[in-house]
Structure formats: C-alpha cells, structure tokens
Amino acid sequence: MTQHVFWNCQIATMEDGKNAYGLLECGALVEEKGFIQWVGPKADLPHIYSSEDLIDLGGRLLTPALIDCHTHLVHGGNRAQEFEMRLTGSSYEEVARAGGGIISTVSATRGASEDFLYLDALTRVEALMAEGVSTIEIKSGYGLDKKTELKMLRVARKIGEVCDIDVITSFLGAHAIPPEFKNRASSYISEVCLPTFREAVDEGLVDTVDAFCEGIAFQPSELVPLFDLARELGIPIKLHAEQLSNIGGAKLAADYGALSADHLEYLDKAGVVAMSAAGTIAVILPGAFYTLREVQKPPIEMFRKYKVPMAIATDSNPGSSPMTSLLLAMNMGCTLFSMTPEEVLLGGTRNAAYALGLKDKGTLQIGMQSDLSIWNVRHPAELSYRIGFNPLHRRIKGGKI
Ligand code: NIG
Ligand code: FE
C-alpha cells in the first residue's frame, strides 16, 4: 500500500502558531510514499481519500516520531565502576582528572572492533526505536585519534543504513584531550583533530561538528580553528557548553551561527541573548544533570523570555547519562526543570529537528516526512507524565508501519 489514511485520532501536529500542541481533537492524516499529503479534522477529510484503506486509530494520539538530537551511543565498555566512585564521594571532574571519565571510554573504544561497537550500540538504538524514536544523532569523540574517530563514524553510518532509523552524525574529535597530548590541547587540535575532521568530511561521514567546551576539555579560544574549518567546509556546528562552569562556550557557538548549544546549566543572560540573536537551539539534557546530581539548573525561564527554542535529548553515553529513554528525559525535563509537557514534546520533535538542521521532520504538516508515532494515550501530556512507561502503539518510518 503506498497510501495510508489514519483517522479517528487525536493529532498533536506540533505546528507553530496553533493551539497547544497544535492539537486536532478528532483528526485525520493522509500519508503517501513517505510524505504527509493531508492533515486536518476528520470531518473535513476530502472524499478522494475516504476509501476502504482507512486506518481507524480508535481515538489514540498521533504525534511526529520522536527525535533524539544528542547521543553518544556508539562507544566501547561501560563506566559502572565510576558510577560507584561518584556515589562514594568523587565528583565527575575528579574522576576525569584522575584519568577516568571520558578517557576510560576512549581506551575501551580504541580497543573495540567495528563489529563489536555496532552490535553493542544496537541494543541502545533498539531501546530508543521501541519508544517511537525515528531519528537520532550520534557523535564520535571516544577515539581522539584518526583511526578510532573514523571507526565510530562508520558505525554510526551503518546504523542509519541497516536499521529503520535516520542517523545524523557529529564529529566530536574535540571531546577531551587524549593522554598522549596532556597539557597540549592546541597541538591535539592542529595535529589530530583538524586533519581527522577533514578526512571524515571527505569520506562523507560527517553531518555536523561538535566539541566539549569546559575547564576539563577545551577553552573557547582553542576551538576557534575547528569552527573556522567547519565554516570553510560548510559543516553546521553544535557545542557542549556551560555544563559545569560558565566559560563563554555558548556565546562562541552563537557567534558561529551554531545549530545548538547543549547542556547549558551554567549559562548566563549574555549567553542566552547571544543564542537568541543567532537562532541557536538550547538542547536540554536532564539525564546528565540527574546522573551527576548537579544542582545548578539550566536557565529555562530566560530561554522562554528570550525566545530560545528548547530541544530535549537523552545524551545517551556511558558516563554522565547512561540513559536510553527519550520519554524519561522528557519526564525529567518536567520534574527537574519545570518545563511543561508541551515544551518537552516540542523538545523531542520540532525543536529537536531544528537542532539537527532538519527541515522536513518534527511536525505533522503537508510535505513533511511521514515519520509518525501512534500512542496508546489520549492526551499528549500523558507522554511525559508517566515514569518508565512506554505507551507506543505503532511506529511509522517514512510511511512504513
Ligand atoms: O554530554 N560533557 C561531555 N560529554 C558527555 C559526557 C561523556 C562521558 O562522560 O563519557 C556529555 O555529558
Ligand atoms: Fe553529550
């Protein structure tokens, strides 16, 4: 069947400028060959579409498929022992400075084969797909040498080719300073990160570039050559910024017209204003805040005031956010940061698409891709209200049920 007509459903179109959630109370949606042809109240469904192929959704909720716009789900090993250390008094920074943290995952990832990384990542990809996620972003950043960074990106591409999910890759070569370049961040950038970035782009492995701007990683000035090269190569920028301290990362990202700045717990007003002016999306990552038992919350009220769109993501990674549930991230956005259920659903749909530079996903409008989720709930607030509950009824990817 090349056409599907869904009807008798609540439709959260997530369209801008409409009522809350862009909600259609008793709606219908027509998709054909992977694209939305028509959406509106069931009563207005044009006769040409009322055939015997109607799919009655029995009053269920239809939303755009979820988009997880920030993950590190390709990696070797796990960090359960570091989790134990943090629970007996060490901080994330102390663990990192003692050679644990990101660097311990770098060793495990360097030592893992491409096949192992792929199969290990699949468990996390499948967990996300099972709750209606149809697009994910996957970062490199646990290689920090050319061979392993390219290996991670190839695995990410393979996931997009083999699984029924779209993958956006991010080159995160500037995630940490590898031990062989200790105290020589700039040399690492010029000798390893930049040439690897060029090669990865040449191989078609890179959709966006990201970095970790922090005291334990890179200063804003050290990232300038990377962002200049991104500009030259036409690769959109994202940045881990202001997660543990405020050092002006988001402002740097905004100055480069970044798609997003992510984490942002320590962001100040100047940073919010810069992001607003640049149209940079704030990606909120409550899983890392929760895992690290942070107390400083991202400036949600200022994002609202200065109209910075907020996305929400799992940050799925072995250290600061070993989480594979976007619905849980949405629940945490509400409970920990007082975001509204509408804001977190926008954060996992429309604004997540913006954070990845995707123009034809994230809302249910004519011409958008038919990536849909059908839920066994009536109202969209139910998606973020429950904890550890997966009400997915069906997932539709590019029109395929
Ligand atoms: O997004 N903040 C930096 N990077 C990851 C953490 C990665 C790790 O701890 O392995 C993050 O939280
Ligand atoms: Fe991250």
- Closest-CA residue to 368 (of 73, 2, 63): 63
| Token couple for 10 | 């609540």
> Of the residues 97, 177, 291, 317, which should be mutated to test ligand 1's pocket, given the most ligand atoms within 8 Å of the CB?
317
Ligand 1 atom 6 nearest Cα: 320
Ligand 1 atom showing the smallest separation from residue 243 Cα: 2
| Token couple for 246 | 């405020």
CA of 83 to the centre of ligand 1 (A): 13
Torsion, CA 299, CA 302, CA 304, CA 307, rounded to 10: -120
Q: Please state, in angstroms and rounded to a whole number, the distance separating the CA atoms of residues 157 and 201.
A: 13
In the chain the domains, ranked by start, together with CATH numbers, are: 3-65+362-396 (2.30.40.10), 66-355 (3.20.20.140)
The pLDDT value given to residue 1: 59
> How does DSSP assign 30-54, residue by residue?
EEETTEEEEEEEGGG--GGG-STTE
CA of 349 to the centre of ligand 1 (A): 23
Tokens 């709750």 map to which residue?
Answer: 131
> Of the residues 95, 212, 260, which should be mutated to test ligand 1's pocket, given the most ligand atoms within 8 Å of the CB?
212
- Closest-CA residue to 171 (of 143, 139, 218, 142): 139
CA of 396 to the centre of ligand 2 (A): 27
Q: How many CB atoms within 10 Å of residue 87?
A: 9
Q: Which residues pair with 209 in a beta bridge?
A: 171, 237
CA of 319 to the centre of ligand 1 (A): 6
For 25, the 3-state DSSP assignment is strand
> Of the residues 69, 70, 72, 90, which should be mutated to test ligand 1's pocket, given the most ligand atoms within 8 Å of the CB?
72
Q: Please state, in angstroms and rounded to a whole number, the distance separating the CA atoms of residues 184 and 16.
A: 46
Q: Please state, in angstroms and rounded to a whole number, the distance separating the CA atoms of residues 137 and 250.
A: 20
| Listed residues: CB within 5 A of ion ligand 2 | 315
Ligand 1 atom 1 nearest Cα: 315
Which residues, including other chains, have CB under 8 Å from residue 324's CB and lie 6 or more apart?
A: 73, 124, 127, 128, 314, 316
CA of 317 to the centre of ligand 1 (A): 7
Say if pTM beats, i.e. exceeds, 0.85: yes
> Of the residues 210, 320, 321, which should be mutated to test ligand 1's pocket, given the most ligand atoms within 8 Å of the CB?
320
Burial of 52 (0-12, 13-18, 19+ CB in 10 A): exposed
Helix, strand, coil percentages for the chain (3-state, nearest 5): 40, 20, 40
Q: Please state, in angstroms and rounded to a whole number, the distance separating the CA atoms of residues 49 and 36.
A: 13
Split the chain (401 residues) into runs of 10 and give each run's mean pLDDT.
Answer: 90 93 96 96 91 88 98 96 87 81 95 98 98 98 98 98 98 97 97 98 99 97 98 98 98 98 98 98 98 96 98 98 98 98 98 98 98 98 97 95 90
CA of 143 to the centre of ligand 2 (A): 15
- Closest-CA residue to 98 (of 173, 172, 174, 182): 182
The pLDDT value given to residue 92: 81
CA of 321 to the centre of ligand 1 (A): 8
Lining residues, ligand 1, CB within 6 Å? 72, 101-102, 105, 212, 240, 243, 288, 315, 317-321
Q: Please state, in angstroms and rounded to a whole number, the distance separating the CA atoms of residues 330 and 385.
A: 9
